[in-house]
Amino acid sequence: MPMETKEDVRALYARMEDLCLRAEGGEVGQSDFLSPRELHYGTAYLTRKGVPFFAFGGYAEAERKKLYLLPDYMTGATLVADMDHEEGIDLLESYGYSAEIAAVRIDGSGYRSLTHRDFLGSLLGLGLERSVLGDVVTLEEGNRAVFFCEERIAPFLLSECTKVANDKVKLRRLAITEVVLPERRFISLRDTVASPRLDSVVSALCKLSREKARDAVLDGMVEINFESEDRPDRTVTVPSLISVRGCGRYRILALSEVTRKGRLRLEAEQYR
């Protein structure tokens, strides 16, 4: 679900409220897989309400995750913030619940190299909603991937997904504990900026003129920590996550150490 409007955010809050009611009734409130932006809004909402919850997407560095809202009898009424996913899963299992996430490996024939888009497109082409799929992680071999999905749809995918692009593939279940994925890769970026203004930082990150960076902000193409920002003079603080439509996503690691010319040293990482 793209979170482009206030209506989208309100709809997400309504879904969170439904999960809260389930937790208040003594059940585990479990969401679909949420995008990073949905997670940002969803976790902020739950934290404000003081609801015990944790997020998990099948592995520690997952971007798309499910939220699990826990009833008081699992945690005690004093816990009002999100918890570590390992602690949360242990709690679920101790009360007879599970995360309900399946891990599946896809192996191509080696006939051709397959991309993330190929894998995701073939899975969605079976008629699935994006919300039932977590991350799809391509492996270094170039024709293999691991993806995460709702437990209930795993049997369907194992029987129906036989091709990715025009390559025959084989699928097999993995235990969550078996999953070994490559570390997320980043491109290191270093530059100097005149000031910590957003347009100045975007200009350096995306190699744009200051004027074009300012226009990108004004046109609603920039987000800070998953929230749209249209003020070019917004001060960027560390750490921050900046997304620029058409350019990429960046983690701001440092913005300090004034140079002899009076500029600030910028250190960032771009997601690959």
CATH class of 186-271: alpha beta
The residues spanned by each domain of the chain are 6-94, 101-178, 186-271
Query: Under the phi-then-psi rule, with left for phi > 0, alpha for psi from -120 to 50, and beta for the rest, what region is 78?
Result: alpha
Q: Summarize pLDDT for 38-89 with one digit per residue, the tens.
A: 999 999 999 999 889 999 999 988 999 999 999 988 886 444 455 788 899 9
DSSP letter for 191, please: E
| Count of alpha carbons within 13 angstroms of residue 209, beta-carbon side | 3
pLDDT score, position 82: 59
The model's confidence at residue 185, banded by pLDDT at 50, 70 and 90, is: confident
146 — pLDDT class (breaks 50, 70, 90) = very high
Q: Where are the beta strands (DSSP E) in 99-185?
A: 101-108, 133-138, 144-150, 163-164, 167-174
Report which of 176, 214, 147, 193 is spatially closest to residue 85, judged by C-alpha positions.
Answer: 176
CA distance 226 to 262: 30
Q: Mean pLDDT in the chain?
A: 91
- Cα 115 to the chain's mean position, in Å? 19
Residue 3 has pLDDT above 50, yes or no: no
Q: How many C-beta neighbours within 10 Å does residue 34 have?
A: 25
- The C-alpha torsion from 221 through 222 and 226 to 227, rounded to 10°, is -90
Contacts of residue 56, defined as CB under 8 A and 6 or more positions apart, other chains included, come to: 62, 65, 66, 68, 85, 88, 89, 99, 101
Q: What is the mean pLDDT of residues 264-269?
A: 96
pLDDT of residue 80: 46
Q: How far apart are CA 212 and CA 7, in angstroms?
A: 29
Over the stretch 121-130, which tens digit does the pLDDT of each residue have? 999 999 999 9
Report pLDDT digits (tens) over 188-197: 999 999 999 9
CATH fold of 101-178: Alpha-Beta Plaits (3.30.70)
Fold of 6-94: Ribosomal Protein S8; Chain: A, domain 1 (3.30.1370)
pLDDT of residue 180 exceeding 90, the answer is: no
